[in-house]
Amino acid sequence: MAKELSIEAAERQARQLLEARMQSVRDLVTGRQALADLREQVEAAEREDVRLYNAALTAGWSPDELRKIGVGEPDKKARVARRARARRAGAGSGAAAKDGASGTDDTTGATAHDTDAG
């Protein structure tokens, strides 16, 4: 006699398998959202770092003095400056212009305050 197949039992097993797979997607999406949230926090912290560095420059500190006491130029400011120099140096070159349009958003949030005040 052949074993009787139950549609309900088959559906129940299929749902259990799918639920395990769905949980992995839920975990992945949760992790990706946490990463996106942290990236936003880093961007905000970098903008604040640039603002405070510029405030120190405005208060009379020179970049050399700040560097000597262990407070160098903010990473974001240095990245933006390097990118600007590279664009100026390769303005006539298609490769350099292409690199400048790489789609990275390191300059997102850059303001007039991101330039040296002194």
- Predicted TM-score (pTM) of this structure: 0.55
Average pLDDT, the chain: 82
Q: Give the model's pLDDT for residue 64.
A: 97
**Distance separating the N- and C-terminal Cα atoms of the chain:** 92
Share of the chain above pLDDT 90, in %: 58
For the record, the structure tokens of 99 come out as: 């690199």
Token pair 């005040």 in the structure block, residue:
117
pLDDT tens per residue, range 43-83: 999 999 999 999 999 999 999 999 999 999 998 877 787 88
Q: Give the model's pLDDT for residue 92.
A: 62
Q: Give the model's pLDDT for residue 3.
A: 77
The answer to whether 108 and 50 are in contact (CB under 8 A) is: no
Contacts 24+ apart (CB under 8 A), 41-47: 43/108, 43/109, 46/74, 46/75, 46/76, 46/109, 47/76, 47/109, 47/111
